[in-house]
Structure 1
Amino acid sequence: MGNSTGSMFYLFVIVIALYIVGASIYQAFLWFRKWQEKKRDEKFSMDNEENKE
């Protein structure tokens, strides 16, 4: 029974690490989507500027 505390600690560390990695991937995905949308909006507004003239 003495070893179960150590294995529980490792499980806890693994869960925390997976949470951090997952949250980082999700934030990167959100940033990428926002960046892509911004790029698309800039292109769209540039096309509109050309069409006005």
Structure 2
Amino acid sequence: MSLIGTATAFYVGFKNNQAYGRNWEARIIWGQLPIPVGRLELPLACWAKIVCPKKYN
């Protein structure tokens, strides 16, 4: 019985480690997302004629 419990503990431990790795990778990708979005913000605002500095006229 203890052998089954030990095997289950190893299995759950490895699955938890995989889930943490996927979560960390997703945090890195989502953390990099605001950089390209920020670069598009001013040209899109100018295109929508909300705010258009002289640089984009």
* TM-score where L is the length of structure 2: 0.62
Report the structure, 1 or 2, having the larger helix content: 1
- Deviation string for 1:1-53 (max 9, x for gaps)? 431111100011111111111111111111111222224436x4xxx53134x
Partner of 2:56: 51
Matched, 1:36 2:48: no
The one-letter code sitting in structure 1 at the alignment partner of 2:3 is N
TM-score by length of 1: 0.66
Q: Which runs of 5+ in 1 are unaligned?
A: none
- For 1:1-53, list aligned pairs within 5 A: 1-41=1-41, 44=43, 49=53, 50-52=55-57
- Greater than 3 Å deviation, 4+ residue runs: 39-42
- 3-state SS of 2:21 partner: helix
Runs (5+) with no aligned partner, structure 2: 44-51
